[in-house]
Amino acid sequence: MLAEPSSVPPPPAADERRTDRGREAFFDNAKLLALVLVVCGHFWEPLARQSGHRAVHAAYLLVYAFHMPVFVFVSGWFSRSFTGRPQQLNRLIGGVLVPYLLWTTLLGGYTARLDGRPFALDLLTPAWVTWFLLSLFLWRLSAPLWRQLRAPVTVAVAVSLLAGALPLTPQLSIGRTLQFLPFFVAGLTLDRDRVLALRGNRTLRAAAVPLFALAAVAAYWVAPRLDAAWLYRSASAAGLHSGYLRWAALSPAVNLAGALLGAAFLALTPTRRGWFTALGAAGMSAFLLHPFVQLALVHRGAYTGAFLTSAAGQLALTAGAAALALVLSAPPVARLLRPLLAPRLGWLLRN
């Protein structure tokens, strides 16, 4: 569906200086919808791990099949103008690396306090969702390299398959960095017009609903049979207690499912700018804040109570998670958290 270009010149630097009004609303809308799914998935997870909640488990597997591939693909799209210029590197450090260090410390300390254990700072090992910031930092640094390759997506797929044979550890988020790499490179390098053709594509839209219905049925069937760790993309064959040949067969299948469902998801994404578009642009605040709420619920035993284990409670949990994602994505929240999301580093970095 999306042909790989023989070469991809970097977009003009002016693209990076566009105002928010000049941003592609379609991708901010996609970011917001994917973010809502991320938050819902995280709030479903404690129930999905319990027996007796097959429907929640199936929904969890369905969302995890494509929501991070979409998130990573869109991140690649927003990295298309990155060429490694000094100002870009300053923004990458101030907007990605330093927030990673800050939020890994905050979330790690918060988790340790809830668990009643001493906090041991380990900045090389991401704390839950902060893996994405670290991976994004590494992916974006590598962007100029991928543009120099004749077949960047093919090479990225080969790298992701190599990851299955490596002794992967949690440090540097290396498992997810390598295995989600094809989606980032696809967003970064695939032909711009072909990517934008996904917007409101009638053929894809017509196929999207039956495709998701089929995927939902498949997720319900595999729920008791599939370890969700296959969808996290963080473990090698050894980490999943699998032989490499089996891993190398299933891994592309997982990626293909993510690509197909992701394309259908993008085809269904609204293309016009609306009140929700700004929430997508400011969504990192929700991405980093919602784990504090989820962890508090877990440690207070909410997931073992009668309410959340009921169908009505699970619907309320889903609605509450989606509402939380929207509220925490509001621009005022992002402005309030700006010192932690994009701190000013003029004292440290050259202009």
Distances (CA, A) of 346 to 45, 85, 100, 101, 235: 40, 16, 18, 18, 38
| pLDDT for res 346 | 84
pLDDT at 249: 95
Are 286 and 39 contacting, i.e. CB atoms less than 8 angstroms apart?
Answer: yes
In one letter, which amino acid is 307?
A: F
| Confidence tier at 176 by pLDDT (50, 70, 90) | very high
Instruction: Report the 10 Å Cβ neighbour count for 144.
Output: 12
With a cut of 90, say whether residue 2 has pLDDT above it: no
Token look-up 């299933």 returns 250
227-240 average pLDDT score: 94
Q: How far apart are CA 279 and CA 28, in angstroms?
A: 8
What average pLDDT does the chain have? Answer: 91
Q: Tell which wins on pLDDT, 10 or 236.
A: 236
Identify the pLDDT of residue 24: 79
Cα–Cα dist 268/248, whole Å: 31
What is the four-CA torsion angle of 284, 285, 288, 293, rounded to 10 degrees? -140
Report residue 78 as tokens: 């927003």
What is the b/e burial string over 290-314, where b = at least 16 CB atoms within 10 angstroms of the residue's CB? Answer: bbebbbebeeeebbeeeebbeeebb
Angstrom distance (rounded) from CA 34 to CA 55: 20
Per-residue pLDDT at 22: 52
pLDDT beyond 70 at 329: yes
Per-residue pLDDT of 136-165, as tens digits, reads 999 999 999 999 999 999 999 999 999 999
Answer whether residue 201 shows pLDDT above 90. Answer: no
Q: Are 143 and 188 in contact (CB under 8 A)?
A: yes
Where are the alpha helices (H) located in the chain, listed in sequence order? Answer: 25-48, 54-77, 86-92, 98-115, 131-141, 143-147, 152-162, 174-179, 181-189, 192-196, 202-222, 229-232, 244-268, 277-281, 284-299, 311-328, 331-336, 338-341
**What confidence tens digit (pLDDT) does each residue in 38-83 have?**
999 999 999 999 989 999 999 999 999 999 999 999 999 999 999 9
pLDDT at 12 over 50: no
- Residue 199's pLDDT is what? 84
pLDDT tens, position by position, 236-295: 999 999 999 999 999 999 999 999 999 999 999 999 899 999 999 999 999 999 999 999
pTM for this prediction: 0.91
> Band of the pLDDT at 348, cuts 50, 70, 90?
confident
Tokens for 286, please give them. 């929700």
Please give the average per-residue pLDDT across 213-231, as a whole number. 95
Mean pLDDT calculated for residue range 184-192: 96
Q: In this model, does residue 335 exceed pLDDT 70? A: yes
